[in-house]
Amino acid sequence: MVTLAAVVALYRPLLFASLDDEVAAARGVPVRFLSIAFMVVLAIAVSEAVQVVGVLLIFSLLVTPPAIAERLTVRPPLVIALSVGLAVAFTWLGLAVAYYAPYPVSFFITSIAFATYLVVRGVGAVRERSRLADVARGEGTRVEAA
């Protein structure tokens, strides 16, 4: 709860500093303090959770869901919400699969998260290639009159 409260308290200035640290510093946001405070909050959260779930799973659930969410939306609040939802979904899906298999739960959670990242990245690459092909053919630059 302490880490969640700290993130909520630091959210707006931290978001501003994350998007453009030079402008944030020019506006008087304590960028260095925010960076250190965020690292301390992250360290506390990781040290609390690592005892329960392990290093690999912590790393997987800290990195993969936000990486996926960032590819699906660019709005920071949606990225956060989607990251949390994906982490919970990966965890429950991994638990369900591990119930029927003799392998560790963390293997399934990490594998499902990574496979999802690969799918999202692959779909994004196909869409970008299609968009570039449309632009090359002249179809992507046309604006039709109403």
Please give the pLDDT value at position 96. 95
So what's the pLDDT on residue 18? 83
Indicate the DSSP class of residue 124. H
Query: How many other CB atoms are there within 10 angstroms of residue 52's CB atom?
Result: 8
Do the beta carbons of residue 58 and residue 49 sit within 8 Å? Answer: yes
Task: Kindly calculate the radius of gyration of the chain based on its CA atoms and give it in whole angstroms.
Answer: 20
Chain segment 27-63, per-residue pLDDT in tens: 888 989 988 998 998 888 888 888 888 888 888 899 9
31, burial (CB in 10 Å: exposed 0-12, middle 13-18, buried 19+)? buried
Counting as low any pLDDT under 50, the low residues of the chain are 146
pLDDT attached to residue 88: 95
